[in-house]
Amino acid sequence: MTLSPSEALLTKWLLTYFYQRLPFPQEWLPQKSYWVGGSLRDAYLAWLQGRAAGDPARDGGMESSASVDLDLMCAVDPVGWAAAVARRLGAGFVVLDPERQIARIVLAKLTVDVGLQAGSTPEEDLRQRDFTCNALALDLQREQLLDPTGGQADIRQSRMRMIHPDNLSADPVRLLRGYRQAAQLGFGLDPATQEAIRERAPLLANVAAERVRAEIVALLEAGIPGLAHLQAAVAAGLLQAWLPHLKPESPGFPQAQAVWEWAGRWRPLYPRTLAELAQPLTSSREGRGRLLAVVLAALLWDPAGTEDSVLLTRTAERVETELERLRFSRAEMRAIQKLHHLLPQLQLLLTDSPTPAQQWRLYQQAGSLFGGLALLAVATGGDPQKLESWLKRYEDPQDPLAHLVPLLDGRDLLHSLGAKPGPWVGQLLQDLQEAQAWGQIQTRAEALSFARRWRGQQKD
């Protein structure tokens, strides 16, 4: 097969791109091995976007701090080959799918996934994949780019096109994945693909909750483009079994979009607060960040009936049920419940002149989610100018209201008062901090005097 000059240049560039990222000598590659998957698609996009004129290493090479992923396909024993390479490298090794023989080699800044070729030829494997942009393969021995489904043309047109409707039915999570990848790549779904997805929407009800949640999370993390594609997925009926109350016209979509917009505006003004929201909700470094919980809270917040406590309770129960159905973590569910619970309180305080004690109490209840609560408030119609004073206080770690440092703790009280532990300790600490917020006590001695008077009144 004779390549045109442009095809030859592209193939050479892709090979250079691949081998500069490969963490072992190319001689270790198995016979009949192919570079496939999202990293090949993304490299092709890098080529199209003009990076071909320079060094392929510029775009996320191994010297970069960014993580790199490579996907390989081979014809024989991928699990055994990956295990042997992992041993030689001293790397981690995981079998991801024993039935389909997919394994992963794990290094500090790189993962290599390798799977068994499905079918007698690589082209047969590629034709079984989901979308044409994901059905490219670079033959690493023959140095040829394989494209049996027209993926290159679709990538050039920024088009997400299915290979065959049956491929979507074979793994229904692909129905939602199409919208997610379109959002991440800046692609649009072609009309025939959209229609095929709409016809098969009920199939997504039978997919594992964790897989559906992963796609929803990725769409939310894709920012405003992700929300637009999530809205299109809802319009196609994909989430009817998972989030039945979410409709294309739900106020949650503009609210979630406003969270992203205001986060962008506030980041340079309140960098400490927004950096805190980027941190995971739990101590696990792999945990999802607080800002995602805020976006999800905005998406699921229904402003109708917020003054009716019965409706608020029913809405909270419904949201909890839907989040449990999607297997969101307990930390995420608690965060969203807290945001929904505190939002009406903050909205009410924004319409009045809150006392120092009221401000302190809200800061205390919100904790590290206060920045997210402010985003949710402005996204649901709160006055951004009135929120400024709240945010300026919270941004300052020395602010006596937003970050009040108690003058006494529980052990101080028990020792100084010579009393036994009990529920009274927590109540007294609360009252002490409220008095401190009011400015009624400012020193440790004043706090101890307050505690003695309080304790005496309780005994009386």
Mean pLDDT of 101-108: 94
What confidence tier does 273 reach under pLDDT thresholds 50, 70, 90? very high
| Predicted local confidence at residue 347, as pLDDT | 94
Enclosing H/E stretch for 277: helix 271-278
| Predicted local confidence at residue 54, as pLDDT | 47
At residue 375, does pLDDT exceed 70?
yes
Specify which residues 69 forms β-bridges with.
111
How far is residue 220's CA from residue 257's CA, in Å, rounded to a whole number?
10
How far is residue 224's CA from residue 260's CA, in Å, rounded to a whole number?
7
What confidence tier does 109 reach under pLDDT thresholds 50, 70, 90? confident
Asked whether the beta carbons of 236 and 199 are under 8 A apart, the reply is no
| Predicted local confidence at residue 56, as pLDDT | 56
Helices (H), 350-422: 356-366, 370-379, 384-395, 410-417
**Among 182, 178, 224, CA closest to 198:** 178
Give the model confidence (pLDDT) of 394-436 as tens digits: 999 989 888 887 777 778 778 787 778 888 878 877 877 777 7
At residue 286, does pLDDT exceed 60?
no
Give the model confidence (pLDDT) of 139-195 as tens digits: 999 999 999 999 999 999 999 999 999 999 999 999 999 999 999 999 999 999 999
Give the model confidence (pLDDT) of 2-15 as tens digits: 667 688 899 999 99
* Ramachandran angles phi, psi of 161, nearest 5°: -125, 130
Torsion of CA 10, 13, 19, 20, to 10 degrees: -150
At residue 309, does pLDDT exceed 80?
no
| Predicted local confidence at residue 57, as pLDDT | 52
Give the model confidence (pLDDT) of 43-102 as tens digits: 999 999 875 444 555 544 333 334 568 999 999 999 999 999 999 999 999 999 999 999
Residue with tokens 């095929």: 196
| Predicted local confidence at residue 282, as pLDDT | 76
How far is residue 324's CA from residue 341's CA, in Å, rounded to a whole number?
18
At residue 369, does pLDDT exceed 50?
yes
